[in-house]
A and B are shown apart, each in its own frame.
Chain A
Amino acid sequence: MTALAFTLKAAPKQRVDVAPLIPERLAGKRLADIGALQLQTGNRQIRADELFTVEGDDASRLVFRGATGKLDFVGKGMSQGEIHVEGDAGSYLGMHLKGGTITVDGSVDAYAACELKNGTLLIRGNAGDFLGASLPGNKKGMAGGVVIVKGNVGDRAGDHLRRGAILIEGDAGSYLGSRMTAGTIAVLGRVGDHLGYAMTRGTLLLAQAPRVIPATFNDCGSHTLGFIPLLLKGFADLETRFADLPDRFQRVRRYAGDLCSLGKGEILVAL
């Protein structure tokens, strides 16, 4: 059985909503039926086979080949199976994901892992703003699962985060973990300003000291926290450098905040 592959015939000019192309909705369908699925692009609908060449027979594994940043909603609401994107993906990658794995070889746009419930997202390139956030106006962001970004992420990563882990191996933008209510965000690279803005609970784990610790966080001194090596060990079977770095976080400095909010969150900076 070979993975069900969607190869872009040409780079789309308009954004394409590929939400209908997830394993559970394609299981048991013939290639012709899959090709006949209607996809929204710009202000009209077109057949999937006008955009993609469709081949393969294992609907539990999907591959998007030659993918560009115009493909939005990849894997939306998926609860099982695998999606592999060869190339870039657009906005809302893995939105409302309930299970399974999505891997993107390139970079993705804003709102990746939006309100993600469970499952794993691996982005080998960069991610845009609002990684793991909630939709605008909603109060609950990502609520489980693991998101790994090998490159950099934009602003507001983890906005309204509730549960789960976001592991960023590059740099993070401003307002990292804003308004988060729980969960963990770890960053190997540099972080922008206003980190933990209005966070109530949860953990920001930083390998490098930020330029400025916000004034509304309180220095709680240096600690050896036994849970950190255990936490990182838990990522051992995932493709992330964090799994190999338990020593890096032997000892951390803890800052509690945001004191303008509930103040039960923490920024942990490796020493």
Chain B
Amino acid sequence: MLIKLRGGKVYDPAHGIDGEARDIYIRDGRIVGPQPETPTHEYDLRGKVVMAGAIDMHTHIGGGKVTIARNLLPEDHRGDPVASEGLMRAGCGHAAPSTLTTGYRYAELGYTAGFEPAVLPINARQAHMEMADVPMLDVGGYAMLGSDDFLLRLMASGTEQEVINNYVAWTLHSAQAIGVKVVNPGGISAFKFNQRSLDLDEAHRYYQVTPRQVLQTLARALVELGVPHPLHVHGCNLGVPGNLDTTLRTIAGIEGLPMHLTHIQFHSYGTEGDRKFSSGAAQIAEAFNRNKNITIDVGQILFGQTVTASGDSQRQFANVGHANPNKWVCMDIECDAGCGVVPFKYRDKNFVNALQWCIGLEIFLLAEDPWRIFLTTDHPNGAPFMSYPHLIRLLMDKSFRNDRLATINPDAAALSTLGGIEREYSLYEIAIMTRAGAARLLGLRDRGHLGEGAAADITVYTEDEDKEKMFGKPDYVFKDGELVVRNGEVVHVVWGNLHTVKPEFDRASIESRLKPYFDRYHTMKMDNFIIRDWEIEGDGRSKIMVHPCEGRG
């Protein structure tokens, strides 16, 4: 079957195409070159905007903490019921939606892939089952390391990098992950030893390992294994005023290795002003612009009710006083890590929240290279993903942004440089941030672009002055060549695939260390820890896509 998309204005930054009218041909789920024969279906897209399907490279859509968030907030589900309608099954939820609703709503915004950033290896099986239940989206996960007892033991005993590389690769295989994330390096473990904070060069009380060492060791492991996605870092001191300095030292401390700093908005706070809370966006953006090895996503906050779900039990515990509604969960998870779930209501009249809003936007607008910065709200931590069209409008429309700025807490607005920033993102830059750049960052060679051979994940919009309206309701969304959304409504339900990497490593040598460790310390045997391919593919719905480990593209 041949599908022709006729004459749309194509934004395909991976090939430098910036709004040129082009025809796109799709055969068997892939984009192909011009074909002489008459297409089976033709869509007249003249005047429409055509982009690849959007990729959310950091969104909490599966795993234990999402389940806890759902359990903790039944009112979030009662307040937003979704009835079964047409092809779509029933669901519910705003901040922590059900799996089905998550998939449908992402597709209705033109997204075709989402990556869960905190897959705890010991709970990875549950995370994968949950992600497999999210329709419409391709998924993938980053395996969480850095506070796990096994790694910290290896580091404490001065084990050579080679062994750690094998352990990291073994974990990527076992957890069926596409990258490695470190959350508050060593800090989640330190919390279990009664350390209530852990700065970059502060030693873990028990292992005597510092966060800086954890970051360097893991970042080096990924480079040496050739994993395309750089170490995905949720740094030290999240949300602490003055953590700007920690973040700058983290950037310098990685010594040129590739590193992705996630939800950097939460790590960009200064201590100036009467309230000892100020924006560090300018310094962060300056460091970002200078250090080409660094990529970031923003973790923009937007006002309203949401829930923060994080592996960072140390920092989440420090924030439980802000829980709104007043209930929270912090837990320890075996030898591996922990998690904390704290509901949150960001209020535009609140000084701190308003300044957080400004800081995120300042970082977006001061960061010069859209290929290295990504559009996220750290769903649901900064705001639910449903607010992406609103965020895009804030970035693309200066007068809209300034109108909003005039309504927030005036003290925060006065402290921010946001009002003086002229920059407006172009459609081309948005396409980089949400498509081409994200695919390149993850090493997805056949996603995020519209060249020949790419998977036909395509979103078509009607250009509108109101960008929130434009991005909130795509005309068409194609997933692997199938039309799944028309006029912002799901017309066909499909199941996405799982993206992974499988770097080469010495299995026998690391398993000879791991097997006795599991027998002695863990609640499951090593063989049960490993997620086999058939567990993902067995029901015939999802396939595992393995991406090559040849370093960064």
Which residue numbers of A lie inside 8 Å of B, CB to CB? 135-139
Contact = CB atoms under 8 A, between A and B. Distances in A.
Interface in B65-88: 71-75, 78
A253 B503 CA distance: 72
Nearest to A136: B74
A137 B77 CA distance: 11
- If over half of B's interface residues share one DSSP class (helix, strand or loop), that class is named, otherwise mixed; here it is helix
A139 B71 CA distance: 14
Nearest to B325: A139
7 contacts: A135-B78, A136-B74, A137-B71, A137-B73, A137-B74, A137-B75, A139-B325
Contacts of B78: 135
Interface residues of B, number: 9
Interface in B26-76: 71-75
Contacts of B327: 139
A139 B72 CA distance: 11
Nearest to B71: A137
B326 interface: yes
A137 B326 contact: no
Interface centre among A135, A137, A139, by most chain B C-beta atoms within 10 angstroms, is: A137
A138 B325 CA distance: 9
B74 A135 contact: yes
A206 B75 CA distance: 34
A34 B72 CA distance: 39
Nearest to A140: B325
A267 B73 CA distance: 32
B476 to A, nearest CB: 32
A138 B77 CA distance: 12
Contacts of A139: 325-327
Contacts of B74: 135-138
Contacts of A135: 74-75, 78
A135 B75 CA distance: 9
A137 B76 CA distance: 10
In this complex, the member of B72, B73, B74 whose beta carbon has the largest number of chain A beta carbons within 10 angstroms is: B74
A266 B325 CA distance: 27
B342 to A, nearest CB: 15
Given A135-B75, A139-B325, 12 more contacts: A135-B74, A135-B78, A136-B74, A137-B71, A137-B72, A137-B73, A137-B74, A137-B75, A138-B74, A138-B75, A139-B326, A139-B327
Interface in B261-310: none
Interface string B303-330: 0000000000000000000000111000
Nearest to A138: B75
Contacts of B326: 139
A137 B70 CA distance: 10
A58 B183 CA distance: 64
Q: Which 9 A-B pairs have the closest CB atoms?
A: A137-B74, A136-B74, A137-B75, A138-B75, A137-B73, A139-B325, A139-B327, A139-B326, A135-B74
Contacts of A137: 71-75
Interface in B321-349: 325-327
A136 B75 CA distance: 9
Contacts of B325: 139
Contacts of A138: 74-75
Contacts of B75: 135, 137-138
Contacts of A136: 74
A95 B420 CA distance: 52
A137 B72 CA distance: 7
A137 B75 CA distance: 7
Contacts of B72: 137
A136 B70 CA distance: 12
Nearest to B90: A43
A145 B74 CA distance: 26
A139 B75 CA distance: 11
A268 to B, nearest CB: 29
